[in-house]
Amino acid sequence: MTLKRGLLLGLLIGVASAFLYAPKAGKELREELKDKVDAVPKNFFNFLESLIDLAVSVLDFAKSAFKEQSCKFSKAFESGISAAKEKSEELKKYASQAGKRE
């Protein structure tokens, strides 16, 4: 029972302190609180809009980075194929010259 009494006493002291130290009259405070509560949905949607813009920016960056890496890979792959063809030609030449010597 003492816990309940302590909580109740704390609640009453808190409410009394709030009324005594409130910077504005009750009507003004309620009006300001109402305005802030009314602004919550607008602020929330602004936050969501900013979050979506950020996500789009990140996806655009990832897309361009992917394209860049894809281009680099393609060029490296083509260079590898070209080098393999050159080596193949060199080996064919070497094999044909070695066959003529025998």
Average pLDDT over residues 1-12: 84
Query: What are the tokens at 99?
Result: 């066959």
Counting the structural domains of the chain, the total is 1
In-domain check, residue 48: yes
In-domain check, residue 14: no
In-domain check, residue 89: yes
φ/ψ of residue 45, rounded to 5: -70, -35
Q: Identify the pLDDT of residue 14.
A: 86
Q: Identify the pLDDT of residue 51.
A: 94
In-domain check, residue 66: yes
Does the pLDDT at position 5 exceed 80? Answer: yes
Does the pLDDT at position 11 exceed 80? Answer: yes
Query: What are the tokens at 44?
Result: 């929330």
CB atoms within 10 A of CB 29: 13
Q: Identify the pLDDT of residue 81.
A: 94
In-domain check, residue 36: yes
In-domain check, residue 12: no
Question: Domain range holding 34?
Answer: 24-101
Distance CA 21, CA 14 (A): 10
Does the pLDDT at position 15 exceed 90? Answer: no
In-domain check, residue 50: yes
In-domain check, residue 6: no
| pLDDT tens digit sequence for 59-79 | 999 999 999 999 999 999 999
Sign of CA dihedral 70, 76, 78, 84: negative
